[in-house]
């Protein structure tokens, strides 16, 4: 929630899904360092996951397929690509759709246009690696922010480096030439804004 977790990811091929055939074409295990659970006194809280949970898939392939079937129905109903969120209920263990909103990244790409970016200069020291959200290249002065309270230190064109971001960081993210975070999946709010 809010980009706090690097989640597991699955890619489902819709044409074979429609034919009732095996449709999961790729999957990547996320680190899943945290999970949201019910508090005994009410409400929810984030707690650390066990090593076993971190090294296990969060849902089964059958559950992925079931969610994909529901997602296709939701997209068909709205007539457009949708960003669909789901959750497992802590009481009954079932999966539920909790939110669906129009998808605003992939659906906005120009049809028939292929953008390809390459580094012109090679060499140098690689400081860090990770998983990219997009395919563009950003450059600028690195600006490490520990909290949103440091917003005034950020200048247009800086590279934003933070543990994680949420919607409150949007004014800074719009000024950033690139964004680097420790936490958050490729479809979290920060990734969508980026």
The residues carrying an active-site annotation are: 189
Token pair of 92 as six digits: 């009954």
Closest CA to 32 of 49, 52, 11: 49
What is the full DSSP assignment across 162-190? ES---GGGHHHHHH-SEEEESS--TTSHH
Rounded to 5°, angle at Cα 30 from 24 and 32: 130
d(CA 78, CA 83): 11
């Amino acid at each position: 929630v809010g980009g706090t977790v690097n989640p597991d990811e699955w890619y489902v091929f819709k044409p074979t899904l429609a034919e009732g055939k095996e449709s999961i074409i790729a999957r990547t295990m996320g680190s899943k360092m945290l999970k949201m659970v019910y508090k005994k006194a009410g409400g929810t809280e984030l707690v650390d996951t066990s090593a076993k949970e971190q090294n296990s898939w969060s849902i089964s392939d059958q559950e992925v397929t079931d969610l994909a079937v529901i997602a296709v129905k939701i997209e068909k109903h709205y007539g457009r690509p949708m960003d669909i969120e789901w959750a497992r209920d802590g009481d009954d263990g079932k999966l539920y759709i909790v939110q669906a909103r129009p998808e605003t990244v992939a659906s906005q790409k120009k049809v028939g246009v292929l953008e390809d970016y390459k580094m012109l200069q090679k060499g140098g020291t690689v400081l860090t690696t990770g998983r990219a959200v997009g395919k563009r290249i950003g450059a600028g002065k690195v600006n490490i922010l520990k909290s949103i309270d440091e917003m005034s230190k950020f200048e247009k064109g800086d590279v934003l480096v933070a543990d994680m971001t949420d919607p409150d960081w949007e004014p800074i993210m719009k000024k950033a030439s690139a964004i680097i975070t420790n936490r958050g999946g490729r479809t979290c709010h920060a990734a969508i804004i980026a």
